[in-house]
Amino acid sequence: MRPFQPRSGLLRHTEDMRSIAFVALYGVLAITGWLFTPKSVPLLVAWVTVTAVSSWIVAVITHNTVHAPIFYNRTLNRLFQVWLSLSYGFPVSEYLPGHNLSHHRFTQKGGDLMRTTKVRFGWNVLNAIAFVPAVAFSVTIANYRFASTFGKSRPQWVRQLRIETAAVWGVKLLLLAVDWRKALLFVFIPHVFAVWGITAVNFVQHDGCDEDHPYNHSRNFVGKWFNWLTFNNGFHGMHHVQPGLHWSRLAAEHAVQLHPFIHPALEQRSLAIYLWKTFVWSGARVKYTGEAYTPVDPPEEDFLKFVSVPETNAMLEA
């Protein structure tokens, strides 16, 4: 049986109809929460929690989209990025420097702005808490430096970044002016959770792994329901092997290219159980092999020195 193809032929992969549906879900939750704010405190907390998780899922979709745009038409991709920015809470275009050009090219090395060795506490839960603040500042600075270095050669990227920035912060300031309490509950809290979650997950995906090994460079979470909800984000190793591979293909390719060779400890069934064991039950920082792990942070490298204009062009033209 031939796979379903939408009549419009706009999507590169029909599976991204689910991506669009989840982005729309955040909007539904935020708007209905604003218009019909629950009077019950437990219900209100539950509503804000679900909205925050929904925004985090949009952050995952954002990550997928900057690697594999969902539309054939570039204008539609740019409009979708604005929608994603409003739902995730931050400009999508900012992903390019710190994630695509730094983290993927220099994973856990000195040029990786998001390397886990930036935090080195003995009690692992402190590493989990400190990781996001430790990388956020350097990523923010890198975004401005990238815009300054490559902005003139890629004016459309700068223009898109400005549009997304104006949309995100313009809407947030407007909502704050209308009702700061509702803005906090249904916009700011979900967006902070989204950016915190999409950044923090990098720690569990790479800490204690072997970045120089052809298979054991990333930790994977292979549970079926988790990956349905997060668009196969659990198959992180395969994503590093082929960053441009569409998320719908990650599980199948993981089974062929990584599963037969990867260390069993790097295929975790449950993220929740792993988090409990790693940060609560034991709390000790260990390598994927189970040995005690005391990381040494590599010397800082300026990843922008290794970035070429043609390289950024290829990513921006996708």
Q: For the segment 150-180, what is each residue's pLDDT rounded down to a tens digit?
A: 777 778 888 999 999 999 999 999 999 999 9
Q: pLDDT value at position 70?
A: 95
pLDDT grade, residue 6 (50/70/90)? very low
Q: pLDDT value at position 3?
A: 46
Contact 188, 172 (CB under 8 A): yes
Q: What is the 3-state secondary structure (H, E, C) of 151-192?
A: CCCCHHHHHHHHHHHHHHHHHHHHHHHHCHHHHHHHHHHHHH
pLDDT, tens digit, 9 for 90 and up, residues 64-84: 999 999 999 999 999 999 999
Contact 183, 169 (CB under 8 A): no
Map tokens 């549009």 to a residue: 163
- Mean local confidence (pLDDT), 29-46: 96
pLDDT greater at residue 85 or residue 95: 85
Contact 221, 234 (CB under 8 A): yes
- Is residue 213 predicted with pLDDT exceeding 60? yes
Q: How far is CA 169 from the centre of its chain?
A: 20
> Dihedral of CA 118/123/127/129: which sign?
negative
Q: How far is CA 211 from the centre of its chain?
A: 19
Q: Which of 267, 263, 272, 269 is nearest to 291 (CA)?
A: 263
Q: pLDDT value at position 318?
A: 46
- Mean local confidence (pLDDT), 101-119: 91
CA dihedral 305→310→315→318, nearest 10 degrees, is 180
pLDDT, tens digit, 9 for 90 and up, residues 114-152: 999 999 988 899 999 999 999 988 888 888 888 887 777
Measured CA to CA, the distance from residue 85 to residue 89 in angstroms comes to: 5
- DSSP for 216-267 reads TTS-EE--HHHHHHTTTTT-HHHHHH-TTS-GGGHHHHHHHHTTTTS-GGGE
pLDDT, tens digit, 9 for 90 and up, residues 248-281: 999 999 999 999 999 999 999 999 999 999 998 8
Measured CA to CA, the distance from residue 188 to residue 194 in angstroms comes to: 10
- Mean local confidence (pLDDT), 81-108: 91
The residues that bridge with 267 in the sheet, in sequence order, are 220
Measured CA to CA, the distance from residue 155 to residue 116 in angstroms comes to: 33
Q: pLDDT value at position 8?
A: 53
Per-residue tokens: 101? 């050009």
- Mean local confidence (pLDDT), 22-29: 97
58-67, 100-109, 207-216: least confidently modelled range: 100-109
